[in-house]
Amino acid sequence: MRPVRFVLFPFLLLSYLHFLVTCLNVPGTRMGQTSALVGTKLYFFGGSSATTNATLNVGLNYSNEVWYLDLSNSSLFNTAIPTWYKDAEMPIANFFDTSCVSPTNNSAIFIFGGRQLLPNSSIISYNSPVYRFDPNNNSIWSIPNITGFNSTFITRNLMKAVIDNTRRVFIFGGTSFKVNNSDTSPVMHYNDMNILDLTNMTWSTLVIPQAPPYYSYAATILPTGLIVYIGGLDYFSDASQVNMSEIRIFNTTSFIWSSKPVNGSSIESRIGHSAVLGQNNDIIIYGGSKYNADVGPYGPQAFPNLVVLNTNSWTWSIPDIPPTNTPQPLSFHSAALYKNYMIVAFGLVASSSGYYNKNLYVLDTQKYVWIAINNTATTTKGSTSQKTQTNKAQGTSNSSPNNGLFIGVGVVSCIVFIGMASFGIFLFFKGRNRNYKK
């Protein structure tokens, strides 16, 4: 029996370690993803997990993965490890796209633009610049039929969609990307407002001559119907950062574009930052980096890392936040507000080193303190491809009503196998102890 034990032990140990790693179902490092909150579920779509040059133009490892957190599970807001779930993958791999959620029954998610590749390939593909995802309807992906679509929108990215309570989506400007691998056309920058009415699926484009070509900004819509644009890049003859003391505003009722001076604390210009609408219509800005034509988005951190715009007095302030649990300085991450919590996820560590992040950070926006989150992830340098470890039981095309069953079976299988392997290893050592006693 002794030789059998020595043959069995390495197998059990390796199997134990393999299944232990496989069952840790977490997304890998990424940046440039878009996120959307549907009820208590916070979804993350696509992103880029690696790059081979500093222009973020070619050589990227695009993702078509869809992950979500169930925020009704309070484990996210204590020291437990957040539980990740994987959903039906996107039809295309995409990053630098934007999204919004239909206010009707808080259901369908619409994905707009972005830099797109065929999944698991390096082939640029723009099958559709607009996709619809129905998480409450068997996680179905579809291409909506839109009347009056603006064809110049097809290759746009680095823009932000907002939606009002009448189901109109507003997307300003953006910059273009290559249509195919041999495309030598110049990069375009836009200063038009594209409006999609989700009620009748009609698209209209409003040219705004007084607005500059504009991209890589943050946009937030106020209850008054004003869209507030903060930071980003202007492009007349060359890219230049927008001064944070100048706020652009678009009135969704009068369709008037205007600029407004902002007072208060001194805030550095930035790109790749996020914005959420907090209490009292305060806009909370997190992260961002300084732009440099030589390094692109890999610029140094923009200071301060977290700032608040009071939209009643139009003044900037810097909250006094305790230094504990402070996140890394990030850009091209995503942020969402759930109740009083701002959830910051993934992104590019704002430095010249090109490190990608896979951690979550949670800010209590009432107390302005960062909550401790048990992140088991680490950062991985962008020049190295990061493979996402996934639960094989969930599959890659799980758009059926049995998703929950497959997830449950996968988790149970992991637990059962680990238990069996552990018991086998226990018996092995028990047998060895008995032999020693003899």
398 within a domain of the structure (yes/no): no
201 within a domain of the structure (yes/no): yes
Whole-angstrom distance, CA of residue 274 vs CA of residue 286: 5
190 within a domain of the structure (yes/no): yes
Please give the model's pTM, rounded to 2 decimal places: 0.81
Q: Are 289 and 299 in contact (CB under 8 A)?
A: yes
Domain span at residue 217 reads 29-388
Q: What is the pLDDT of residue 323?
A: 92
* Residues 309 and 214 occupy one common structural domain: yes
* Residues 346 and 414 occupy one common structural domain: no
* Residues 364 and 423 occupy one common structural domain: no
Whole-angstrom distance, CA of residue 364 vs CA of residue 76: 12
Helix count and strand count (H, E) for the chain? 2, 34
Residue found under tokens 């990061």: 386
* Residues 290 and 143 occupy one common structural domain: yes
Whole-angstrom distance, CA of residue 77 vs CA of residue 363: 10
396 within a domain of the structure (yes/no): no
231 within a domain of the structure (yes/no): yes
* Residues 53 and 17 occupy one common structural domain: no
Q: Are 119 and 144 in contact (CB under 8 A)?
A: no
Q: Give the E-state strand segments of 300-393 in sequence order.
A: 306-310, 315-317, 330-331, 334-338, 341-345, 348-349, 355-356, 360-364, 369-371, 380-381
Closest listed residue to residue 227, CA positions, set 219, 238, 215: 219
* Residues 1 and 67 occupy one common structural domain: no
Whole-angstrom distance, CA of residue 119 vs CA of residue 127: 12
* Residues 342 and 410 occupy one common structural domain: no
Q: What is the pLDDT of residue 333?
A: 96
DSSP tag of 20: H
* Residues 250 and 324 occupy one common structural domain: yes
395 within a domain of the structure (yes/no): no
Q: What is the pLDDT of residue 81?
A: 75
Whole-angstrom distance, CA of residue 2 vs CA of residue 396: 43
Whole-angstrom distance, CA of residue 12 vs CA of residue 428: 10
For the chain, the domain total comes to 2
CA 335 vs CA 78, 150, 203, 363: distances in Å: 19, 29, 27, 10
Q: What is the pLDDT of residue 80?
A: 66
Q: What is the pLDDT of residue 430?
A: 53
Pairing of strands 263-264, 315-317: parallel
Report the SS3 class of residue 75.
helix
Q: Are 322 and 329 in contact (CB under 8 A)?
A: no
Whole-angstrom distance, CA of residue 33 vs CA of residue 198: 23
Instruction: Supply 291's token pair.
Output: 């732009």
103 within a domain of the structure (yes/no): yes
* Residues 236 and 352 occupy one common structural domain: yes
Q: Please report, in tens digits, the pLDDT of each residue of the chain (438 residues total).
A: 555 454 455 544 454 444 444 445 789 999 999 999 999 999 999 999 854 433 444 445 889 999 999 998 766 666 567 889 999 999 999 999 999 999 987 789 999 999 998 887 778 888 899 999 999 999 999 999 999 999 989 889 999 999 999 999 999 999 998 766 677 778 899 999 999 999 999 999 999 999 999 999 999 999 999 999 999 999 987 889 999 999 999 999 999 999 999 999 999 999 999 999 998 899 999 999 999 877 766 788 999 999 999 999 999 999 999 999 999 899 999 999 999 999 999 999 976 566 889 999 999 999 999 998 887 644 444 433 333 333 322 333 333 333 333 333 334 434 444 455 455 545 544 555 454 444
Residue found under tokens 């723009």: 126
Q: Estimate to the nearest angstrom the gap between the alpha carbon of 367 and the chain centroid.
A: 25
Q: Which residues contact 289 (CB under 8 A, 6 or more apart)?
A: 270, 271, 272, 297, 298, 299, 300, 301, 302, 329, 331, 348, 350
* Residues 19 and 154 occupy one common structural domain: no
Q: Are 274 and 306 in contact (CB under 8 A)?
A: no
* Residues 155 and 142 occupy one common structural domain: yes
Q: What is the pLDDT of residue 375?
A: 79
* Residues 10 and 107 occupy one common structural domain: no
Q: Are 373 and 341 in contact (CB under 8 A)?
A: no
Kindly state the helix (H) or strand (E) to which residue 83 belongs, with its residue range: none
Instruction: Supply 261's token pair.
Output: 């001076």
188 within a domain of the structure (yes/no): yes
